[in-house]
Every structure is written in structure tokens, then in C-alpha cells.
Amino acid sequence: MLSEGTSLREDILILKQNRRAIILAHNYQRNEVQEIADFTGDSLELSRTASAIDCDVIVFAGVNFMAESASILSPDKMVIIPEIGAGCPMADMIRVDTPRLERKRFPGFDNPPPLIYPVRFTLRDIKAQYPGVPVIAYVNTRADVKAESDICCTSANIVKIVESLSDDKVICVPDRNLSIWAQRNTKKKVIAWDGYCHVHERVKPEDVEKARREHPAAVLMAHPECRLDVLEMADHVTSTSGMLRFAKASSGKEFIVGTELGLMYRLRKENPDKAFYPLRKDMICPSMKKTTLKSVFRALKENKYVIKVPENIRVPAKKALDRMLGVS
């Protein structure tokens, strides 16, 4: 029950203080959730914060792989995700050893495509196909996939991570668009997985043409989870926080934003003199929007829902995350 006479926001702030809790929110969260958070950022910034922060409780307003990463990096803290159903469909497109789809409906594994592996295979299949080739797991993966990988990456650092490895061939999972973007920016061979983010995948070159016609003076920023044909039409390709930095530093006054609409809140708040237009008005991630002030309150009040990664997965997964944090 909420206390009488105080607002939900005030109740959250009181509970937060009493419990020595910190609220981390991804840039795609609802405006009011971003507003109450102690830190808002992209996946890389939030991982860094989760590994360094001094508190007893972390409330992670985001999706489940993010809360898992916080728990992996800070096992001594209680990590709570306010909405247990907030998952990332792309992260679920790769499994360690149980195929996501019935394999018998498809031909065998004898003749895999040269570059992009269909999601009917498993991480262990692709590792067996390329023994010794390092696996880079996008942070948008579950903890067990990270535990089976050599190093993690985010959209902010993938090229740097690929370049940091001494091997001339790397496996990148699970986002094919991010992997193709990395391939575009490195001489190494990138073996990709066929996963994708449904929010970014839906953007087509026609959307770019339409947005450019409507806003001819605007600078177009796109997230590397978009398709390559879209990225090639953009003026700047970067992560969510990369867009915040770019828009602030740019002399441009108008921007077309090619990512989830939650980012608009900070873009507009931090740049009141500039105009921001969505590349598509339906770039909304339902999982990211599940968390509300009510669920943040319940998280703090009732510990709903605690995320704890088992040690046998946490330790190797932390190695992959730490290795990434060491590079970037």
C-alpha cells in the first residue's frame, strides 16, 4: 500500500533511501521512470555503473539481460527487476545447446550458410563449426550465452572489441545487423548469427527517404541494430548514449532519430533548442515500456523480482563482461 498524502514518486524516493537502493534505467524506459532513476544510460554505461556503484540494492529498470548483467557484475548486491516479463526477443534468439526451433523441420547442419547462422542452430553448434574462433556476445544475450562466450560487446564498442582480439576471424552473436555493421568497419572476418531486434529491423530505406523529405535540414542518426541499407543512408551510426553526445556536440538544429522512441525524452530535455523527429513513429519496444512507477515502487517494497545468476554461470559470464569493460 502507498502511504497516504505522499505521491508515488515520493514513496519511491523514501524507500530508495531507506534501502540504500539505486535505480538504473535504460534510455528506452518511460519518461517518468527515467525521471526517477539515479542513472540513465546505454547498455555500456549501465554495465559500468552496475560494476562500480556503492549501494545495497540495484533496481534495474530495463529488460532481463540487463538485470542479469548487473547481478553478474555485483553479486554482493540485491538486483531487482520490476517487471519479470520484460525480456528481449533478440536475446532469446540464441540458445546455448537447445535449438530455439524444432531442428527436424529443417535440413541438417552439413551445409551451413557461409556468414549468417540461422537461429535454428545453437551457440555450441557454431563453436563446433569454428573451433578456436572467439565468440563475441552482444550484451543483449542471456547469462548462459555470455558464460559460453569469450568477450561481450555493446552497440557502443563492437568494432573496438573485434579489433581488440588477435584473431582474424570472430563469431558475433546474436544481432546480424550489428555484426554486419562490425564487418563493414573491420578487415577481420565476422561470422554472424541471424538474430535481430524487431524494433530496429522494421526500418526500411523508404522510411529514411520519407523522413528526409519531411525534414530536409535534419541530421539522421541511426542505431546499429538497424539494417545495413538503412545505416548506409544515415549521417551518424551510434548507440543510444552516442546519439545523446552527438546531438549535443553537433551544430545541427534538427535530428531524425533512428532508435526506440524512449530516447526522445533525454534528447529533448538535454537539447531544448533543438528539434528531434522519430525515423518511424512505431519504434517502440513493448518490453522496455513494461516498467512503470508502480512496478518500481513494488520492486523496492516487496523485492519483486530478485535476479540471481547461479555461480557456475555467473563466474564465466563475468569474465566475458570484465574483459569487455577492460577494453572499453
Residues that bind ligand 13P (CB under 6 A): 27, 42-44, 88, 140, 154-156, 197, 223, 225, 239-240
Judge contact between 136 and 152, C-beta under 8 A.
Answer: yes
CB of 119 to ligand 13P, least distance (A): 18
Site membership for ligand SF4, residue 197 (CB under 6 A) = yes
Site membership for ligand SF4, residue 240 (CB under 6 A) = no
Buried b (16+ CB within 10 A) or exposed e, 185-195: ebeeebbbbbb
Of 33, 50, 59, 88, the residue at the interface with ligand SF4 (CB under 6 A) is 88
Closest CA to 130 of 146, 150, 147: 150
Judge contact between 239 and 155, C-beta under 8 A.
Answer: yes
Question: Toward ligand SF4, which CB reaches closer, 46 or 88?
Answer: 88
CB of 196 to ligand 13P, least distance (A): 11
φ/ψ of residue 139, rounded to 5:
-60, -20
CB of 42 to ligand 13P, least distance (A): 3
Only one of the segments 48-56, 88-96, 112-120, 226-234 lies at the binding site for ligand SF4 (rule: CB under 6 A); that segment is 88-96
Q: Please give the order of strands across the beta sheet that includes 78-80.
A: 39-41, 21-26, 57-61, 78-80
CB of 102 to ligand 13P, least distance (A): 28
In the beta sheet, which residues pair with residue 57? 21, 78
Question: Toward ligand SF4, which CB reaches closer, 12 or 324?
Answer: 324
Bin 132: left if φ > 0, else alpha if -120 < ψ < 50, else beta: left
- Write the binding mask 50 to 79 for ligand SF4: x where contact by CB under 6 A, - elsewhere: -------------x----------------
- Residue 89 binds which one of ligand 13P, ligand SF4, none, with CB within 5 to 8 A depending on kind? ligand SF4
| Burial of 110 per CB tally in 10 Å (0-12, 13-18, 19+) | exposed
**Which of positions 109-148 make contact with ligand SF4 (CB under 6 A)?**
140
Question: Toward ligand SF4, which CB reaches closer, 75 or 87?
Answer: 87
> How many residues at the interface with ligand SF4, by CB under 6 A?
12
Question: Toward ligand 13P, which CB reaches closer, 16 or 69?
Answer: 69
In the beta sheet, which residues pair with residue 26? 41
- Residue 230 binds which one of ligand 13P, ligand SF4, none, with CB within 5 to 8 A depending on kind? none
Closest CA to 56 of 29, 114, 17: 17
Q: How many CA within 13 A on the CB side of residue 73?
A: 25
CB atoms within 10 A of CB 303: 13
Q: Summarize as ranges the residues that interact with ligand SF4 (CB under 6 A).
A: 63, 88-90, 140, 197-199, 260, 285, 287-288
